[in-house]
Amino acid sequence: MTQKQPIQQVLIIVGVAVILVFWFNYFQTNRVISQLQNNEAQKLWWQENYEMVQKLYDSEWFKQQQKAGIQQALGQIEWWTQKPVWETTTPSANSQWDETTATKKISLEQLKRIKDDSLILWNKDAKILIVEYSDLQCPFCKRHFESKTLESIISKYNGNVAKTMRQFPLGFHQYAQKAWEWAECFAQNSAEKYFKFVWAVFAKDLNSNWSDQTIYDVNKELWWNESSFKTCVESWKNTQRIKDQQAEWANLFGITWTPGNVIINTENGEYVVLAWAYPVNQFEAIIDKLLK
What are the boundaries of each domain within the chain? 93-291
What is each CA distance from 263 to 68, 90, 273, 284, 290, in whole angstroms? 21, 23, 6, 10, 9
pLDDT higher at 53 or 133:
133
Picking from 11, 266, 228, 276, the residue whose alpha carbon sits closest to that of residue 114 is 266
The pLDDT of residue 181: 75
Contact yes or no for 270/279 (Cβ under 8 A): no
The pLDDT of residue 71: 55
Number of separate helices (H) and strands (E) present in the chain: 12, 6
| Residue 100 scores a pLDDT above 50 | no
Q: What is the DSSP string of 114-175?
A: HHHTS--EE-TT-SEEEEEEE-TT-HHHHHHHHTTHHHHHHHHTTTSEEEEEEE---TTSTT
| Residue 81 scores a pLDDT above 50 | no
Rounded to the nearest angstrom, the gap between the alpha carbon of residue 10 and the centroid of all alpha carbons in its chain is: 80
Phi (first) and psi of residue 283, to 5 degrees: -65, -45
End-to-end distance of the chain based on CA atoms, in angstroms? Answer: 126
Contact yes or no for 167/180 (Cβ under 8 A): yes
Per residue in 169-218, pLDDT (tens digit) is: 676 776 777 777 777 777 777 777 888 888 888 887 655 566 777 777 77
Fold of 93-291: Glutaredoxin (3.40.30)
pTM for the full predicted model: 0.61
